[in-house]
Structure 1
Amino acid sequence: MYTRKNQRNLTRSEKRRLVGALLGLKRSGRYDEFVRMHGEYYVSDAEDRPRAAHMTPSFFPWHRGFLLEFERALQKIDSSVSVPYWDWTTDNSPASPLWADDLMGGTGRRGDRQVMTGPFAHVNGDWRIDARISEGDFLTRDLGRPGNPVSLPTKAEVAQALDDPLYDAAPWDSTVSRGFRNRMEGWSAGGSDRWRLHNRVHRWVGGLMMSATSPDDPVFWLHHAYMDLLWTRWQKAHPGSRYLPDKRLERSDPQYGRVFSADEPMPPWDMKPSALMDHTRFYRYA
């Protein structure tokens, strides 16, 4: 059992160890395997194949499994390290300590959006983007999109999603208008509200966080650790609610074979969503 902390509460030593483990995983080539995996399992509604990671009920358990595997890889480099979380309802500006030189580094420069500060800046030589997986060879960001501003989600918006006692609903994709999963993942039909909560955070960071290979930016892990924490809060607020669909869909359902019910193993680990409901088997949140 270990603890995931709010990134703003990390000590100087904890920040140094986290950054060191991230850079070590990158040098080993293992980090890029996680980037490649996320890109492979980013499957949209329009694709006629299994959809485990996004636009689907298993969004939360799949990413929990993904973070756990990543965290274990970091801990092979430094056993003291865990993935901290970024509460973007509080640390909601480019001036937040998260973006300082001792942690994530800052926004990108004008023109090519290349990040020039912090440990993941290409100019420092330790964080090269694999062009075989993603576009370009350096980390890019556009925090807050000053040219066309976007704001991070608020506490009130999070509370509204947490209030929904239903986990998910048919048709189990990005078009669902009710249920905690899609309220939090953040898909909608269009208009100014098209990017909500989880999705809007990716958009606010910009750059490589806007792609299917968004783990190219290490802030991805801190964002998804917070998403995981919000899932635990929803579970605590609605103890009578359960993961849905709880049974395999009928063959007549258009989503048959495309989404994962509670006891259907998810790729690539063959872990069932039901096996990932209780985070306290692995870690706790401070």
Structure 2
Amino acid sequence: MAVVRKSVAAMTTAEKTAFINALRQFKTTSVSGRSYNAYIDLHITFFARTSDGISHAHQSASFLPWHRAFLTMLELDLQTVSGNPDIFIPYWDWTGGASPFTADFLGSITNGSVSSGNFSPSWGWSIYRSSIATSFLQRRLGMNASSPSAATVTTVQGVTVYDQSPWDPTVFNSYRNRNEIELHNRVHNYVGGHMGTREAPNDPVFWLHHCNIDRLWWQWQATRGIDTYQPRTGFTSGVIDNTETMRPFSTATTPSAVRDISNLDYSYA
């Protein structure tokens, strides 16, 4: 059954509770042989260029479809572990939408740490493979960067070309690259703490942030075309092509396969 992904501001109390409880349950329960910590391992593994010489998750053309597949996989796992098919990943509109860092949702912050309440150790949230020496979830809101403005989002959304050679952070006329650098990276740095590391999924706001990135890409696709991924065919060195498998997903998971969210059983409110 298709779900509708809502903004944090539009969520009901019951929806918030269901989402965070599913995350907590997934920390200690396996689905299809993986628990929540497997997602942290996957993000660490695919953060940079892998042994096959390909950049899958970041600084390449597949940044947006890779994370779309990553989000979809987690959403399905949360539905399975909770037994609730209505569970959805909400999106955080960081241009001025409601903050997710509240005591009743992703946890309030005290001196840069989530040391009590939701997503604290006593609540049942442990830190895994952390490059930060702490047992508490760390956040440093605004210390390293500001969040993107609505004007910046409008500018990025106005780029008409999905991507182009050399498919890396040096490409200026590239929606994928501008989104990744000016929106995605900036929010990771704005939140800071664990969100500023390779093990960013330690912080559940990772999913809300990437859900908003995916929503913006979907809006861009609605204007520019759903089938606009570049590079198109063949095997471009170091890059995932339109019909090439994105690791670590199934062989059927290509950029082309995830281009249309109406085929992935979710939509955006």
Q: What is the TM-score normalised by the length of structure 1?
A: 0.85
Aligned residues: 258
Change over 3 Å in CA distance of 1:221–1:181 after alignment to 2: same
- Structure 1 CA distance, aligned partners of 2:40 and 2:110? 20
Could you report, residue by residue, the CA deviation over 1:157-211 in whole angstroms, capped at 9, with x for unpaired residues? 111111111000111111211110000000xxxxxxxxx2110100010100011
1:134 Cα shift? 4.6
1:249 Cα shift? 4.3
Q: 1:157 corresponds to which letter in structure 2?
A: T
1:115 maps to 2:152: no
- Structure 1 CA distance, aligned partners of 2:180 and 2:242? 18
Q: What's the counterpart of residue 60 of structure 2?
A: 56
- Structure 1 CA distance, aligned partners of 2:245 and 2:127? 31
Identical amino acids, percent of aligned pairs: 37
Moved more, 52-61 or 135-144: 135-144
Q: What's the counterpart of residue 164 of structure 1?
A: 159
8 Å Cα contact 1:60/1:231 also seen in 2:
yes
State the superposition RMSD in angstroms: 1.9
Could you report, residue by residue, the CA deviation over 1:207-249 in whole angstroms, capped at 9, with x for unpaired residues? 0001111011000000000000000111111128711001224
Q: What's the counterpart of residue 102 of structure 1?
A: 104
1:41 maps to 2:46: yes
1:80 maps to 2:86: yes
Moved more, 239-248 or 211-220: 239-248
Q: Could you list the structure 1 runs, at least 4 aligned residues long, displaced by more than 4 angstroms after superposition.
A: none
1:129-278 pair list within 5 angstroms? 129-131=127-129, 134-136=131-133, 137-145=135-143, 150-186=145-181, 196-239=182-225, 242-249=228-235, 256=237, 258-269=238-249, 270=251, 271-278=253-260
Q: 1:65 corresponds to which letter in structure 2?
A: A
8 Å Cα contact 2:59/2:169 also seen in 1:
yes
8 Å Cα contact 1:165/1:241 also seen in 2:
no
1:27 Cα shift? 2.1
Q: What is the TM-score normalised by the length of structure 2?
A: 0.90
- Structure 1 CA distance, aligned partners of 2:180 and 2:220? 13
8 Å Cα contact 1:142/1:207 also seen in 2:
yes
Q: 1:265 corresponds to which letter in structure 2?
A: T
- Structure 2 CA distance, aligned partners of 1:140 and 1:235? 34
- Structure 1 CA distance, aligned partners of 2:195 and 2:53? 24
1:67 maps to 2:68: no
Q: 2:36 corresponds to which letter in structure 1?
A: Y
Could you report, residue by residue, the CA deviation over 1:22-69 in whole angstroms, capped at 9, with x for unpaired residues? 100112261101111111100159x87211100010001100100011
SS in 2 for 1:52: coil
1:10 maps to 2:11: yes
Q: Unaligned 5+ residue runs, structure 1?
A: 187-195, 251-255
